[in-house]
Amino acid sequence: MAELLSIILAAGEGTRMRSATPKLLHPVGGLPIIGHVVRAAVGAGSTQVAMITAPEHERLRAEVAAAFPDVQFFQQAERRGTAHAAAMARPLWEGARGYVAVVYGDHPLLSGPIFKLVTDRLDAGMDAAILGFIPANPTGYGRFITDGERLLAIREHKDASEEERKIGLCNACILAFRADVFRELIDRVGSNNAQNEFYVTDLVELANAAGHKVGYAVAPERDVMGVNDRAQLARAEAQFQELRRDDFMRAGVTLKDPSTVYFSYDTEIGRDVTIFPNVVFGPGVKIGDNVEIRAFCDIEDVTIGEGASIGPFARIRAGAEIGPNAHLGNFVEVKKSRIGAGTKAGHLSYLGDAEIGSGVNIGAGTITCNYDGVNKDKTIIGDDVFIGSNASLVAPVTIGDRAYTASGSVITEDVPADAVAFGRARQENKPGYAPKLREQALAKKAAKQAAKGKA
């Protein structure tokens, strides 16, 4: 397999997004647009990935470097066109062997297999291969001028004649070359065009003029969808979700109302999982077989074991681990906690920074009080523990195996195994006092109504 240097063009300003966030950092499926493009390049077999950014794109570089530490960055100080941008990676392409691909960075649905459509053409003997598509509306796109399987030129829309603008086959987002051909031609690109810029697409005519074989591949429009504004971002998200839903249903996942379930780019789901309507999966979710996710759940950064049941109206996040056959019911929130096998928290509980064993019953209204205003501490609960309803477990605290905590207790000290803990005031009954309290309440209410009437 030939070496592949992918040069991703990411220096555009993205002004049409109307955002303080760089365009390429807006997410699709929980991953920034640029992240999808890097993943596609890597998935196509790139041995080196270069990214061209503007000098002011510190945040873009920082976030990409954190997620993809092998990416190498180069800056385009002046916006002089796509060929000028690609040339900024000179230290890499001057010594490149195999292939060089130039990739536009704003195509979040690009994938490794689609990327390989052009490198496969190079493997078949072409000196250059460009990815094309047939859009529903070609306005604004560069047109492919072809002769059978040969690509003769790409004419940018602003430079195209009326006849050329009738062509439906357009430039998509990848131009790939044998490395020696790219080196031969990149510095020959001129700027004699309507934009007075150096177009990387001009490499096609230069390659033909030099006697090289230039071909093309055609991708489905949805796989090369570009994003320039919020409307296109929404369409890309919708398309991404539609593809993920289809993939999961084909893999054995039941979606009760597919259009209301939202996945992330890295969601992993086992077989015979049932997902009810209005469920959102953020990044980092792994779900085992035979799990049931009921309606209106928000789930992120969690591993859920086989046979577990979640929801409805549950929020699971921040590094949680849910054991096999565990049950987390309505209005339960779990954060950075391990929930053991068969443990149940059926209603209205917050379980944060906790280590909870197997076979535990968490009563309604239970809170692990993990934050003191400065530090967060851990609650540890052993196996087969019964936590009574409306319990507050003040961390750091440990509750031993098979222990009980009484309903309404505030637990501030460790509870030994097999013990019962009462952390509440002793009840006191005052016979006959209820009518007096009721009379006081009614008098107060009457006074309020009288004052309201005078007003």
CA 187, distance to chain mean position in Å, is 38
Residues paired with residue 254 on neighbouring β-strands, in sequence order: 274
Q: What CA–CA distances, in Å, run from 307 to 68, 296, 323?
A: 34, 19, 9
Phi and psi for 434 in degrees, rounded to 5?
A: -60, -45
The pair of three-digit structure tokens given for residue 309, joined into one six-digit string? 């049941």
Phi and psi for 6 in degrees, rounded to 5?
A: -105, 125
The pair of three-digit structure tokens given for residue 390, joined into one six-digit string? 């409306």
CA 417, distance to chain mean position in Å, is 43
Instruction: Give kind and range of the element (H or E) at residue 299.
Output: strand 298-299
SS3 (DSSP) at 304: strand
Residues paired with residue 300 on neighbouring β-strands, in sequence order: none
* Residue spans of beta strands (DSSP E) within 305-370: 309-310, 315-317, 320-322, 327-335, 338-339, 344-352, 354-356, 361-362, 367-369
SS3 (DSSP) at 233: helix
Active site residue 347: yes
Contact 344, 361 (CB under 8 A): yes
Residues paired with residue 27 on neighbouring β-strands, in sequence order: 32
CA 292, CA 133: separation in Å to the nearest integer? 40
Q: Considering all CA atoms of the chain, what is the largest pairwise distance in Å, rounded to the nearest integer?
A: 106
Q: HEC profile for 38-85?
A: HHHHHHCCCCEEEEEECCCCHHHHHHHHHHCCCCEEEECCCCCCHHHH
List 36, 107, 327, 347, catalytic entry: 347
Query: For residue 255, with 0-12 CB atoms within 10 Å meaning exposed, 13-18 middle and 19 or more buried, which class applies?
Result: buried
DSSP 223-252: GG----SHHHHHHHHHHHHHHHHHHHHHTT
Residues paired with residue 216 on neighbouring β-strands, in sequence order: 130
Q: Which residues are catalytic?
A: 347
